Amino acid sequence: MNKKISELNTLIGIISKIDSLRYGYFVDPEGLNRAVAKLSLPGIKSIWKKARKEIGEFSRSLAKSKKFRKYSMISILLKFFALISVTTILLSFTLVYYKPEYFPMLKPFVTPFFTIIFMVLIPNVYVITDYFVRRYVKNYLRGLGVKERKRLKSVINELVLILIKEAKKANIDRKKLEIKTFYADYNNLEVIKKPGLLRETYVTIPKF
């Protein structure tokens, strides 16, 4: 039973990621390949072959974009600096609190000036840059082709049928099989939560 639930959760993750790609978010095709390879569900491999071509084309097209590569590199560097900055400030305040004798050495890092730069400015620059990278990727992928996205929708519908079949065989409550999707137009998914202020996806469960 535990193995079956684990496999169905992996399948749910695959469905969500393909839906994200259909919406316009970049998805690592190799990560999807590894996830599918772990599954022993009947019919999954043949369905995956249909999706792999479209996903590969999406990814290769995006990888050729110099703008995407530049933005991605900047975003990765800023993320690294943001993590280092926040960690440095937190460690400095912790050491000063528990070991006051370190205060003279750490004084520059616990001043308001450095706190604002390390805790606010650098992390926010990263967040803003990452937002523009994601927006660029979404707009770029959305313009690649309507036919490809229709085929991805068809693949998701087939994967949902496998999810339903295997969940019914294992007598798993469908309410435990929540799937986050950007679209609500799939044949056998029921919407239980709509996008809100802090959530941009639908929360769905399979119909059976």
Write the CA distances from 186 to 25, 64, 95, integer angstroms: 18, 31, 53
Which sign does the torsion angle of CA 30, 35, 37, 43 carry?
A: negative
Q: What is the pLDDT of residues 73-98, one digit of tens each?
A: 776 777 777 777 777 777 777 777 77
Q: What is the pLDDT of residues 147-190, one digit of tens each?
A: 667 788 888 999 999 999 999 988 999 999 999 999 999 999 99
Q: What is the mean pLDDT of the chain?
A: 79
Q: At residue 14, what are phi and psi to the nearest 5 degrees?
A: -65, -45
Write the CA distances from 108 to 93, 120, 124, integer angstroms: 11, 16, 21
Which sign does the torsion angle of CA 163, 53, 136, 126 carry?
A: positive
The angle that helices 2-23 and 122-142 make with each other, rounded to 10 degrees, is 80
Q: What is the pLDDT of residue 61?
A: 66
Higher-confidence residue of 38 and 63: namely 38
Q: Is 204 left (phi over 0), alpha (psi -120 to 50) or beta?
A: beta
Q: Is the pTM of this model over 0.75?
A: no
